[in-house]
Amino acid sequence: MTKNNSMSLVDLDEGGVDRAFRSDVLEGLSQRQKAVPARWLYDDAGSELFEDITKVPEYYPTRAERSILEAQGAEFCELIGPDRAVVEFGSGSSLKTPLLLSAIEPAAYVPLDIAGDFLRASAAELQAKFPDLAVYPIEADFMRRVELPAAVADMAKLGFFPGSTIGNMVAWTAVDLLRSMRETLGDGSQLLIGMDLIKDPSVLEAAYDDAAGVTAEFNLNLARRINRELDGTIPVEALHHEARWEDTFARVEMHLVADRDIEFEVCDETFRMAKGESIHTENSHKFDERSSTMLLLAGGWTPVKRWLDAEGRFSLILADASEPRNAP
């Protein structure tokens, strides 16, 4: 019952270059602290490397979140109930979404993703596992309000945003996203969202700098992508990956650090990095109970239940779309 709504959202120039990628990279490399938005880590190679990261022993979030989904089916069923339309922000991973869908028995599943091919492939996989479920994949940038299919208009909605992807956004962007999710889902909706927890920095830094070097490859792939797609000459062998816990912002930062002074071109513009200088490529914010509550409230969501995995490393939070407040 998969319904398709296909239209590419990528804006390419005459030479086939993604305009947004080019302007983000050129602008980001021109800043004093060089920075490229983390979304550009995910080309095909980057997406595959991320899948590999979820399997390395040091990267606990995927396994921890899955263990919550496995353990709490009965409570999801009680607090969420059946016959909702589940709207997943980002295409469902092959393992987490089926656990939720089996637990709550929704009437429809609406995966939203900007990557059309990946979206359609994972929607088809899910449809095969749940042949009676109405599946409506929508190719969309979920950072903005999305028009949901008319078929789910009268159903209560549950937004699903696993993986602690919210942690990859600075607070300003995270609040914008939570508010647009609320607009997309409407009054009476619920949100089930994964948020990784603050913990010992050594555990966090290892999770983002695994011994096998998969996360390093994931990070370095961004430099390779710039070379490939933007006529770049970055000497990738002169960069190394670093994961740094920044306590003030409660986040792990990923950087590409220059091992020597380097000079390179991207789209005919010249850039220089002194030895030790870095390109900041990702933030992964971590939360405690208060900071996650504050973020959700700022985005228009009231937490109603918070589950942790057995080792207390990761949280999955159920929140309700709250009424607009008039009180001071």
Could you list the residues that contact ligand AVI (CB under 6 A)?
53, 61, 163-165, 167-168, 208, 215, 282, 284
Would you say 139 or 210 has its CB closer to ligand AVI? 210
- The one-letter code for the residue type at 203 is V
User: What span, in angstroms and rounded, lies between the C-alpha atoms of 306 and 200?
Assistant: 21
Residue nearest to ligand AVI (CB): 284
Would you say 5 or 47 has its CB closer to ligand AVI? 47
DSSP state of 141: -
CB of 53 to ligand AVI, least distance (A): 5
CB of 108 to ligand AVI, least distance (A): 26
CB 283 within 8 A of CB 231: no
Which residues are bridge partners to 263 per DSSP? 272
CB of 142 to ligand AVI, least distance (A): 14
176 alpha-carbon distance from chain centroid: 14
CB of 314 to ligand AVI, least distance (A): 10
Would you say 37 or 167 has its CB closer to ligand AVI? 167
Would you say 58 or 289 has its CB closer to ligand AVI? 58
CB 243 within 8 A of CB 278: no
Helices (H) and strands (E) in the chain, counts: 10, 14
- The one-letter code for the residue type at 68 is I
Helices (H), 166-200: 171-185
CB 117 within 8 A of CB 141: no
CB of 204 to ligand AVI, least distance (A): 10
CB of 169 to ligand AVI, least distance (A): 10
Would you say 76 or 208 has its CB closer to ligand AVI? 208
Element (H, E) at 325: none
Closest listed residue to residue 33, CA positions, set 244, 318, 291: 244
Would you say 108 or 174 has its CB closer to ligand AVI? 174
